[in-house]
Amino acid sequence: MREKGNLAVAVLATVFYPVTWLFSRRSAKGLENIPRVGPALVVLNHPSYIDPIIDAIYIHELGRVPRFFAKHTLWNIPLLGKVLDGAGQVPVYRNSTRAGDSLRGADAALRDGGIVMIYPEGTLTDDPDGWPGKGRTGVARIALANPDVPVIPAAKWGTKDILDSRRRRFRPFPPKRVRMVVGAPMDLSAYRDKEITRELLYEVTEVVMAQVRMLLKEIRA
């Protein structure tokens, strides 16, 4: 059953689907691990600025509406801000008194039964070969605050061949092969009843990141 969308979601789909068809030839493994109904926190690697477009299509094809974190300044752009709001995207306020609003926005989306997509590094990976680096603790905070929500690791490879954002190199043609692998929901029960400390948050973050790296190794052989 397809998750109910709206005009904003339809607008984004109308733009994103042709883009991904032109620039990529996608395949995926493990998509059955993404729930067709109910909340989920999907954790991914982030080698290119084009990732949200590709990742959104993978999820939308399953009948779900993905919610991403995006810089709050995008909401200042006329019309785009309304589209992002309508599609349920989560603004990120970095280095401000509103920084916590992003986590609360993610919690609200999960409580509403939505799928939240998160790149734990918070930005593109700094590794020149595209391997995930150190994650921020936001992913751990969200996971521990929502114990009934499955945390699903995923990794993809190929988007950096289309848009190498660090080198400012855009090579859309010929279409590049993009592969995704989705892992089974993680068992974080050992951390659920512990006191939330900085050390615990770093530990949970690294446990999640290690799973994402393992899946990426599977793709890249």
Q: Which two tokens stand for residue 196?
A: 């939330």
The per-residue pLDDT for 79 is: 76
**Least confident range of 31-35, 85-89, 212-216:** 85-89
pLDDT for the residue numbered 10: 81
pLDDT of residue 95: 58
Q: Which of 94, 66, 202 is nearest to 144 (CA)?
A: 202
pLDDT at 33 over 90: yes
Mean pLDDT of the chain, nearest integer: 88
pLDDT (tens digit, 9 = 90+) per residue, 111-145? 999 999 999 998 888 888 889 988 899 999 999 99
pLDDT for res 4? 62
Model pLDDT, residue 1: 53
**What mean pLDDT is predicted for residues 5-32?**
88
- Sign of the C-alpha dihedral computed for residues 105, 155, 50 and 136 taken in this order: positive
**Alpha-carbon distances, residue 188 vs 1, 145, 204, 209 (angstroms):** 28, 12, 8, 13
Provide, rounded to the nearest whole percent, the portion of the chain with pLDDT above 90.
58
Quote the pTM value.
0.91
Handedness of CA 124, 126, 128, 133 (dihedral sign): negative
Residues 6+ apart with CB under 8 A from 165: 48, 49, 50, 124
Q: Residue 71's pLDDT is what?
A: 75
The pLDDT value given to residue 115: 95
Domain at 7-220: CATH code: 3.40.1130.10
What confidence tens digit (pLDDT) does each residue in 43-94 have? Answer: 999 999 999 999 999 999 999 999 988 777 777 777 777 777 777 777 777 6
Examine the pLDDT at 98 and tell me if it is beyond 80.
Answer: no
pLDDT at 157 over 60: yes
Which pLDDT does position 76 carry in this prediction? 74
